[in-house]
């Protein structure tokens, strides 16, 4: 009969700058759980339960001794890494397309089209749900904050370039 579950928070350490290829480990964890009312109490079995979606966990003992501490290693699952890579590629692609269109318009290679300004605004608003959805697959908001700036920053710069093209196109008489 199982007496119950005792959730224990574990602190993980590693470098989040490798996101989405980051991994985390706990270092040695000593677990002492005893059962029975008799003297002396008997050592109870310890079970680690993996309840982190999108992660692969590996629990091992430091050595072969039955009383040795445990170590927990976490690594993102392949599907979570691929999802993050796809989202990052989308951010970079959106920014690159926006910059390409803005630069071509600013250089007078393409004619200025005023409805395209709303296209830039729509792309800026599209970045928010993409970020929100990708954030659900990350450990925390602190994960790779500069990646969010790649797409958003590129879009803002391209929108400013397009506005400069608008300014130049509408000031011609």
On the question of pLDDT at 173 being above 60, the answer is no
User: What's the start-to-end Cα distance of the chain, in Å?
Assistant: 87
pTM: 0.61
Q: pLDDT value at position 142?
A: 44
pLDDT-based confidence at residue 143 (cuts at 50, 70, 90): very low
Q: pLDDT value at position 140?
A: 44
Residue of higher predicted confidence among 117 and 89: 89
Structure tokens at 11: 């602190």
- pLDDT tens for each residue of 18-40: 878 888 888 888 877 777 666 77
- pLDDT tens for each residue of 92-140: 888 888 888 888 888 888 887 877 778 777 877 777 766 665 555 454 4
In eight-state DSSP terms, residue 115 is T
Q: Look over the chain and give the mean of its residue pLDDT values, rounded to a whole number.
A: 76
Q: pLDDT value at position 3?
A: 62
Alpha-carbon Rg of the chain, whole angstroms?
Answer: 26
Contacts of 38 (CB under 8 A, 6+ apart): none
């Amino acid at each position: 009969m199982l007496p119950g579950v005792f959730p224990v928070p574990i602190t993980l350490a590693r470098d989040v700058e490798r996101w989405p290829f980051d991994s985390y480990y706990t270092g040695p964890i000593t677990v002492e759980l005893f059962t029975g009312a008799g003297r002396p109490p008997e050592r109870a079995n310890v079970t680690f339960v993996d309840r982190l979606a999108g992660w692969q966990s590996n629990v091992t003992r430091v050595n072969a001794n039955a009383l040795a501490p445990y170590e927990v290693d976490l690594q993102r699952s392949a599907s979570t890494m691929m999802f993050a890579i796809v989202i990052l590629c989308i951010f970079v692609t959106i920014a690159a397309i926006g910059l390409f269109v803005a630069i071509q318009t600013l250089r007078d290679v393409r004619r200025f089209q005023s409805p395209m300004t709303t296209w830039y605004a729509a792309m800026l608003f599209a970045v928010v749900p993409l970020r929100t959805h990708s954030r659900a697959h990350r450990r925390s908001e602190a994960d790779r904050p500069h990646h969010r700036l790649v797409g958003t920053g590129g879009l803002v710069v391209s929108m400013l370039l397009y506005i400069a093209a608008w300014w130049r196109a509408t000031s011609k008489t």
